[in-house]
Amino acid sequence: MMTGSARALTFDEATSSEAFAERFSANRNGKLAHLIAAAVTHVHDLIKEFRPSPDEWRKVIQFLTEVGHASDERRQEWVLLSDLIGASALVEEINSRRQKGATPNTIRGPFYRDDAPERSSGASISVDGKGEPLRVSVRVQDLDGLPIGGAEVVTWQANAEGFYENQQPDLQPEHNLRGLFRTDAEGCVMYRSVMPAGYGVPDDGPVGRLLKGAGYPLHRPAHLQFVVRAKGFETITTHIYDSNDPRLAEDALFGVRPDLVARFEHAQVDGRRGRSVDLTFVMVRARPGRQG
């Protein structure tokens, strides 16, 4: 029998969270221990509120197991889960608040690749050439409007049917609609692409099936995605949305902001009818530890 300071709190419905947290007594002020205990408290509160049967709880465990099995080097189902419940957007919102006028961050999303090929200004990122031509003109500047030369502009997007190249490795060429560019001395770069389509978030995995079955909207409005890097500045990770897309108000990943919505104007692109969009990314000086 345990006595004195060694006595453990009895685990029951009323004390479950405290009984778990007590196990961290040797490190109860540690940030990780505090975070784990807080997360477990929320889980216990949900169980107490909804009172699942053992069979229902096993289904929860089965779902989490399926999420893990559905994740590999090409598909990250855990990232998709985090994105769709708004957790990724909330973490980004908390950690990337910037001065008024600066380009806001959004989430990177599950289709990013860190090996986009470097291309020269004016080049096309559309390897297969399928879709309505699009000309994208980018200017990168600081809060004072001064150009930032030599900035890296990484871009990726869905095709005209709403699919990313790493979703269709057998149907799209490698690195289709991906590229890395560098701004000139005036902070500018231009590239050519095709108009992206909006798309449904993948619902062929456990996360999509669960939320679709619950009636959750799994739509993303048409957009371009960017990572903009420059020495001495905070990295921008963001989207630019098509103002004509009818589903701006129900982006499944909570990324739409008024200053990230742009007009894709009708224009002649390489002698064909297409679209053109002019974008300005405004960077802020990096604080210690905040460049990446």
- Measured between alpha carbons, how far is 107 from 90 in angstroms, rounded to an integer? 9
- pLDDT value at position 1? 44
- If one counts every other C-beta atom within 10 angstroms of the C-beta of residue 153, the result is 24
Asked whether the CA dihedral 38, 43, 46, 51 is positive or negative, the reply is negative
The domain limits of the chain are 10-51, 77-283
Amino acid 44: pLDDT: 94
Q: What is the pTM of this model?
A: 0.80
Over range 58-62, report the average pLDDT. Answer: 93
At residue 209, does pLDDT exceed 70?
yes
Q: Where are the beta strands (DSSP E) in 146-232?
A: 152-157, 178-182, 188-194, 199-200, 219-220, 223-229
Give SS3 for 228: strand
User: CA-to-CA distance for 215 and 65, rounded, in angstroms?
Assistant: 22
Alpha carbon of residue 64 to chain centroid: 20
Mean pLDDT to the nearest integer, 133-161: 98
For 228, the token pair is 């903009």
What confidence score (pLDDT) does residue 2 get?
46
Structural contact between residues 143 and 97, judged by C-beta atoms closer than 8 angstroms = no
Which band of pLDDT confidence, cut at 50, 70 and 90, is reported for residue 3? very low
d(CA 110, CA 163): 12
Q: pLDDT, tens digit, for every residue of 252-273?
A: 989 999 999 999 999 999 999 9
DSSP character for 263? Answer: -
Rounded to the nearest integer, the mean pLDDT of the chain is 91
pLDDT tens readout for residues 94-142: 888 888 899 999 988 878 999 999 999 999 999 999 999 999 999 999 9
Q: What are phi and psi of 84, to 5 degrees?
A: -75, -25
| Mean pLDDT on 56-73 | 90
CATH class of 77-283: mainly beta
Confidence of residue 10 (pLDDT cuts 50, 70, 90): confident
**What six digits make up the tokens of 274?**
């297409």
Instruction: Quote the tokens at residue 264.
Output: 């894709």
Tell me: the pLDDT tens digits for 227-255? 999 999 999 999 999 999 999 998 998 99
- In this structure, what is the dihedral angle of CA atoms 40, 44, 47, 53, given to the nearest 10 degrees? 90
- Provide the Cα torsion 123, 129, 134, 138; round to 10°: -30
- Average pLDDT in the 12-41 region? 83
What is the predicted pLDDT for the residue at 4?
Answer: 45
CA gap 48, 39 in Å, rounded: 14
Q: Between these two residues, 80 and 261, which has the higher pLDDT value?
A: 261
